[in-house]
Structure 1
Amino acid sequence: MRKVDFRGLNLKAFWQGLIRSDSAVGNRIVPPTGFTAQLTVFSAGAMAFLAVFALALALATGRLAERWSHELASSVTVRVSASDADQDARVQAAMAVLSTTPGIGEARQLSDDQVADLLTPWFGPDMPVDALPVPTLIDVPITGSDFDSEGLRLRLEAEVPGAVLDDHTQWRRPLVSAARWLKTLGLISLVLITAASASMITLAAKAALSANGQVIRVLRLIGARDITIATAFVRRFTQRAAIGATGGTLAGMIAIALLPNMDAAGGFLTGLGFQGWGWLLPLLIPVVAAAVGFFATRWAALKMLGAVR
């Protein structure tokens, strides 16, 4: 078995041949239709469609992690629990402590309706919240870097019995960690999709080369070089990958655009989608697919031509 000299088939010569190759000769070597053509176009389109959603997931979860981290870190909550006779007095005492605490804005006591809205996702809209022993909640916005949560917690414990400071740490860390893991999984999905696309295109190119083995032998007999034969396959499969990926990308972008927004989803924030200039990022997927098709077919063609003698 003769070994192929990869050093003699450099990328520059491949690219020049890819641009200048005659389409009629390419059609004779690589048929424009058939099983391998359909497989390449379909696999590239399907992978591009999935890549759009993986990219949207990675971007959306990144924004979600930042928003959750900012919103939960920008305020704290004070819960005041006492008997009905002492409730108002302790709430006023807690408000007095908060008014002299540096680094916070104007504290705001949540009304009964606002507390009921917070509990609705857990108890439902028909639950009589008034009958529950719900503590008074005070929303405290953080406005300065000199805010000392531990100092405020100690002051409330000493001056206002039954008052508890909640800085949302138990909520914030798992939520932000989960969002960041989802972003990582989205990026890993993009890598796996790229690898799967390269594998499918490589298999299709090898199948096409094997099916046209007799044609390749005849071309060699009349003096055709391996670079000429390989370039025809590279050109054809790169075009197929780009065409399929373009269709899959457009279909994925349309599907993302048709997703319901926050209001249409009944107030539940899904966050999946692109924003602003982010809509231009999926347009890079056909370019990446064409590059994957180029290098995958190039590798497969050079390897197979070394074996077909």
Structure 2
Amino acid sequence: MSKFNQLLTTLSLKSKTPFPIVPRQSIAGRTLALLVGIMTFLSCATFGSVYLVQNSALAWSSEVGREVTIQLQPVEEEVMLSNIRTAISLAQQSPGVGRAFELTLEDSQDLLTPWLGEKFDISTFNVPRLVIVQLNNPAVFDLEALKTKLVTAVPEASVDTHALWQQQLNAMAGTVVLSGTLALALILAATVLTIVFATSGAMATNREIVDVLHFIGASDNYIAGAFQERFLAIGLQGGLIGGAMSILFFFIASTITNAVLPVQSATQVELLFGQFTLGWFGLLGLILVVAVIAILTAITSRITVHRFLTQVAP
């Protein structure tokens, strides 16, 4: 048995607990745990926001891709009613169509009210009438065939597939995901730098202890392992705190959206972020973020310790 192992055995017998190289309770440790918790909260909030927006965008894109709008230009009321019936009939006869129905003036009024106000009266304007075509199988739907039939039967009709909206939604979702990924990478980089400075400070503070351990035969791997164990505990502690705070944040945001905001504002927020409900996959993602930060803390501290020991080696 080496002198170092004999020393550890003696200290353990006297204290009845393993003798720690790195102090378990220190102001630096508590401060670092708080910093890791803040970084974890920001990482989880970024991940959760990106996850919610992406899910909403995918739902929008899927819904938009399953709808086609037939627009009928304003004509006399009798002719308009006939054109609407003809458009609905032709749409329902097309393969892949599940349902076709008229969007009444009252429906259009309800859609425009949030933007134009309660006093807006759509009946005073000659607005186009709309027929909504919902697809149950977009793969077999023949758009060109429907356009040809409509142009022949109703010259005033035009068809909109919402492809432009779908492209814009996909582009927005891609931009949000890319921006969130970059923000998450920057937060993780800041976390790494924080751990590097904290580990370097701890090593400098405990320089005499490290020298003594070297003198009595402790290896660099043992010393680095001790610091890694300590910083892993700090990373897990801060990560759990930050993860719990992020879950609480999304719960409070969901409560505020449903109970505090006006109905119209809550509807708009819900359209953008959904119900603020992460679901099981979202919670699993938050747990993964916490685990990554804890592991990153341990690995970063070990690498920093090895570099420090290399520089101070006699």
Higher relative contact order (CA 8 A, sep 6+): 1
* Change over 3 Å in CA distance of 1:81–1:24 after alignment to 2: same
**Secondary structure of the corresponding residue to residue 106 of structure 1:** strand
Matched, 1:52 2:52: no
Provide the C-alpha distance between the structure 1 equivalents of 2:178 and 2:129, rounded to a whole number of angstroms.
39
Match of 2:235 in 1: 241
Deviation >4 Å, runs of 4+? 261-265
2:93 pairs, out of 93, 100, 106, with 100
What TM-score results when the alignment is normalised by the length of structure 2?
0.82
List gaps (5 residues or longer) in structure 1.
Answer: 1-21
Matched, 1:37 2:29: yes
Match of 1:17 in 2: none
List gaps (5 residues or longer) in structure 2.
Answer: 1-15
1:70 pairs, out of 49, 59, 62, with 62
Match of 1:284 in 2: 288
Shift in Å, 1:233: 1.5
* Alignment of structure 1 residues 206-217 onto 2, 5 Å: 206-217=200-211
* Alignment of structure 1 residues 1-309 onto 2, 5 Å: 24-26=18-20, 29-85=21-77, 86-144=79-137, 145-260=139-254, 263-264=258-259, 266=263, 267-268=267-268, 269=270, 270-271=273-274, 272-309=276-313
Provide the C-alpha distance between the structure 2 equivalents of 1:106 and 1:178, rounded to a whole number of angstroms.
29
One-letter code aligned to 1:31? P
Provide the C-alpha distance between the structure 2 equivalents of 1:79 and 1:52, rounded to a whole number of angstroms.
44
After superposition, what is the alpha-carbon deviation per residue over 1:221-242, rounded to whole angstroms, capped at 9, x for unaligned?
Answer: 3333322322222221111111
Provide the C-alpha distance between the structure 2 equivalents of 1:105 and 1:287, rounded to a whole number of angstroms.
46
One-letter code aligned to 1:49? F
**Secondary structure of the corresponding residue to residue 258 of structure 1:** helix
Provide the C-alpha distance between the structure 1 equivalents of 2:39 and 2:145, rounded to a whole number of angstroms.
54
Identity %: 27
> How many residue pairs get matched?
286
Provide the C-alpha distance between the structure 2 equivalents of 1:170 and 1:121, rounded to a whole number of angstroms.
23
After superposition, what is the alpha-carbon deviation per residue over 1:164-193, rounded to whole angstroms, capped at 9, x for unaligned?
Answer: 111111211101221232123333333332
After superposition, what is the alpha-carbon deviation per residue over 1:241-288, rounded to whole angstroms, capped at 9, x for unaligned?
Answer: 111111111111111122226754522312244113532332233322
Provide the C-alpha distance between the structure 2 equivalents of 1:176 and 1:254, rounded to a whole number of angstroms.
30
